[in-house]
Amino acid sequence: MKISVKVKIGARQAGVQKISENSYKVAVKARPEKGRANKEVCEVLAEYFDIAKNRVQITSGHKSVNKIIEIR
C-alpha cells in the first residue's frame, strides 16, 4: 500500500492525522538533520499502523515535506 504524507518537523508532539483514504499528516519532533526526521516519520507511522518499523519505507520525497511512503 502506498500513502501520501505531509510532514511537519519540529513539532511539540509526534502524531498522525488521517486526511483521506491514502493521505496523512505526520508531525515529528526531530529536525531534518542526517535523516533523523525521516527515521522518525517511519517510526511514527509504524506505531500508528501497528506494524514493524522495517515494513515502512520512504519511496520518494526524502528531502521534501511531501513524501510517498510504502507500507508492506
pLDDT the model gives residue 45: 96
Query: Would you state the pLDDT for residue 66?
Result: 96
Q: For residues 43 and 50, what is the distance between their CA atoms, to the nearest angstrom?
A: 10
pLDDT for position 16: 96
> Which residues, 6+ apart, have CB-to-CB distance to 69 below 8 Å?
2, 3, 4, 5, 41, 42, 45, 56, 57, 58, 59
Can you give the pTM of this predicted structure? 0.91
Q: Per-block average pLDDT, block size 10, for the chain (72 residues)?
A: 95 95 95 92 95 95 95 93
Q: Report the run of H or E that residue 2 belongs to, with start and end.
A: strand 2-8
The predicted structure's pLDDT at residue 61:
94
